[in-house]
Structure 1
Amino acid sequence: MLPSPAEIEYFLEISKTLNLSRASERLGITQPTLSMSVKRLEQNIGAKLLIRSKSGVQLTKFGQRFVGSAQAMIEEWEKLRAIALSEKDEVQGQYTIGSHPSVALYSLSHFLPKLLHDYPKLHIELVHDISRHITEKVISYKIDFGIVINPISHPDLVIIKLAHDCVTLWTTKHNRNLNTLICDQNLLQTQDLSKQIRGSDWEFERIIHCSDLQVITDLVESGGGVGIIPTRVAEKAKGLKRYGKNPPVYEDVVTLVYRYDAQNSLAAKTIITAIKNIFI
């Protein structure tokens, strides 16, 4: 267990006075409290820091060495506190935003350029993965904010609905491969639509698996087949249209997810507001 800043500060005060009674008075705590703090510190470090005598206390050899390290730790702690306080009141710092690549195509450009322009001390890292993985990384503190599809509720997550979307079948006017379905079979949307298609008039003779929705969109644009594509992605492409009349549809919800404890700083609140305004 790491020692607390208070325990280190108490030890440093003792090292200055070499008297527990005087140190406790200067710290404004009782002597038994001070003694227990030193005992916990010694237990955590695994070495004796003080030698007690009738005239007061003396530092052990290790205690003398620890004074310099303890002072450096306190100084580093104060620097971190200063950074935290400044970031709380100013839009600055390093933040990570995660999203599926296809979601990034129709969301990031609507808020990120202005955000970066308005706040030059703000640094953003982008991570792209499937929505399920992005959500898991937000929960585990690896990503600060996620723009994801259909997240599962979690007690540590704030989930804000941004917009609705739907995944369905798309083709082009002159498509020579209408018997071919191009899709990402790992997506829940594809799996659900595949069940709806199976055994119906919509069933295809062959299926091409592709893990990149942008590549799927490009292949459909070039007449390579019929694609399972989110509507917001398909509408950014040229010449795509829904396949047939009333094709099967999977409803999506585009959301912003972040941990409850990720909204304390002004920078975090600014990012949240910028993302929430994407679809307004």
Structure 2
Amino acid sequence: MALELNDLRYFLEVRQKGSLTSAAKSLGITQPSLTAAMQRLERHYGTTLLLRDRTGVRLTVTGRALAHDATEIFEVLGRAERRVLGLEDQESGRFVIGSHESLAAYFLPDLVRRVVGEHPTIEIAIFNAASAAVAEAVVDRAVDFGIVVNPKPHPDLVLVELFDDAVDFFVLS
């Protein structure tokens, strides 16, 4: 018997709502349909996933393990969907930011959080190194751009001054 993703989705809703009745209402299905879906899951795994009593339902140990894994499955499916849709919209990809170690700790957490929050299909990687190594990584196209201190001019790079205290931005010309 094949596992149905809807059955897993229903299972997570039962866990969240704590009762079959509330979950069925939330899902817009009948309680007997939801009960049948939970029974299919239990048959599929050969174990009891839910303990039912007059106050609602609780997950068994195996139910909690399944809920954890099912949550991860749906997170991965969501990321895949966002990535595919982002590719169509040209709003996805991987960017590597090169940064001097001290600047990375100060500037990058907020920047990365904002970019990923606004564009969840964009993946950001950080390359921490001394400023000269970051500049070379930009030239070698190992990083997309670099944030450095005390930059040395380079003929292949455009230097954008970010602050008066010698914190600058490199990008390939």
TM-score normalised to structure 2 length: 0.47
Say which structure, 1 or 2, has more relative contact order (CA 8 Å, 6+ apart): 1
In the superposition, the TM-score normalised over structure 1's length comes to 0.30
Choose 1 or 2 for highest CA Rg: 1
